[in-house]
């Protein structure tokens, strides 16, 4: 029931909307290619995101060091088990050999063997706080870092869209003739697109900066809290073993050391 002219206007507006979306995708794709190929971008545009890029460097550093910490904890756990096993084997060997030797050297071997077996058992106590540390860091990586990573990805998409819109506006402005109404109208539409893209980008830019700051603070709190337990356990381990070793040292004071002569 609508007149023909209204239908024509509607069809024309739809056509312009499709063309506009295609142009947006074209410039967004072009900006993506510039970023991927590493071509030089406008220095003023890059400088305006200097604070954001600094936050992103911090985020990637947190992401990388958390992975390195998890690998180090795994290796540390394996080394503790291996060292404890070897220490226990040495202690058992000294005890068995000392029981066969009726001299003072046999008593020293037995006492030292008992101390080494005790130390190997106490050393395994370090595994509990290390396992807790591993779980906490892994949870931190899966939740906090992953959440921040999603926000960073969304921000990068909007940044690409915004910079693509800037390229589009730059291209339109170079061919702009203020006397032609159609060109001015096109320029205003592109300008509105730039404003809209900048609004979305600025919001996510603020979100990323805040989340990275919170991420860094959370990691410091996490490590300071969990490592306190490890530090306490490590101190107790050294106190017990050093006390045992010192007691052995005191008990065997005055023993004459053996002197060996090499026979050719």
Residue 246 pLDDT > 80, yes or no? yes
Domain that holds residue 213: 42-249
Residue 258 pLDDT > 90, yes or no? no
Provide CB contacts within 8 A for 28, sequence distance 6+.
160, 161, 164
Which tens digit of pLDDT belongs to each residue from 63-103?
Answer: 999 999 999 999 999 999 999 999 999 999 999 998 888 88
Specify if 24 maps to a domain: no
Specify if 13 maps to a domain: no
Mean pLDDT rounded to a whole number for the chain: 81
Q: Please, where are the H alpha helices in the chain? A: 4-37, 43-48, 50-100, 104-123, 127-140, 146-174, 181-251
Q: The CATH number of the domain where 143 resides is what?
A: 1.20.1270.60
Which tens digit of pLDDT belongs to each residue from 145-198?
Answer: 999 999 998 988 888 887 777 776 666 665 655 555 455 666 677 777 778 878
Closest C-alpha to 127, from 86, 68, 78, 67:
78
pLDDT of residue 227: 93
Which tens digit of pLDDT belongs to each residue from 46-70?
Answer: 666 788 889 999 999 999 999 999 9
Domain tally, the chain = 1
Specify if 11 maps to a domain: no
pLDDT of residue 180: 52
Specify if 197 maps to a domain: yes
| More confident: 56 or 3 | 56
Share of the chain above pLDDT 90, in %: 47
Please enumerate, as own/partner, the contacts of 85-89 that have beta carbons within 8 Å and a separation of 24 or more.
Answer: 85/120, 87/116, 87/117, 87/119, 87/120, 87/123, 88/116, 88/117, 88/120, 88/121
Q: Can you tell me the mean pLDDT for 246-261?
A: 80
* pLDDT band at residue 28 using 50, 70 and 90 as cut-offs: low
Give the C-alpha separation, 95 to 136, whole Å.
Answer: 41
Specify if 33 maps to a domain: no
């Amino acid at each position: 029931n609508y007149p023909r002219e209204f239908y024509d206007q509607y069809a024309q507006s739809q056509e312009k909307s499709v063309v506009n979306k295609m142009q947006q995708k074209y410039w967004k794709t072009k900006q993506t290619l510039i970023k991927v190929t590493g071509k030089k971008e406008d220095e003023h545009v890059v400088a305006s995101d200097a604070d954001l890029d600094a936050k992103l460097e911090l985020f990637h550093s947190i992401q990388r060091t958390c992975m390195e910490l998890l690998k180090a904890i795994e290796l540390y756990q394996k080394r503790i088990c291996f060292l404890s096993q070897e220490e226990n084997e040495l202690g058992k060997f000294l005890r068995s050999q000392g029981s066969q030797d009726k001299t003072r050297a046999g008593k020293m071997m037995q006492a030292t063997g008992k101390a080494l077996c005790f130390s190997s058992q106490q050393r395994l106590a370090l595994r509990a706080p290390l396992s807790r540390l591993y779980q906490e860091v892994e949870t931190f990586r899966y939740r906090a870092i992953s959440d921040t990573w999603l926000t960073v990805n969304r921000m990068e998409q909007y940044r690409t869209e915004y910079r693509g819109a800037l390229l589009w506006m730059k291209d339109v402005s170079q061919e702009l003739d203020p006397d032609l109404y159609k060109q001015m109208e096109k320029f205003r539409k592109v300008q509105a697109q730039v404003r809209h893209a900048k609004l979305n980008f600025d919001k996510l830019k603020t979100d990323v900066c805040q989340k990275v700051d919170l991420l860094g603070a959370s990691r410091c709190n996490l490590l300071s809290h969990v490592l306190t337990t490890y530090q306490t356990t490590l101190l107790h381990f050294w106190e017990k073993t050093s006390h045992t070793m010192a007691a052995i040292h005191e008990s065997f004071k005055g023993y004459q050391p053996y002197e060996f002569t090499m026979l050719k």
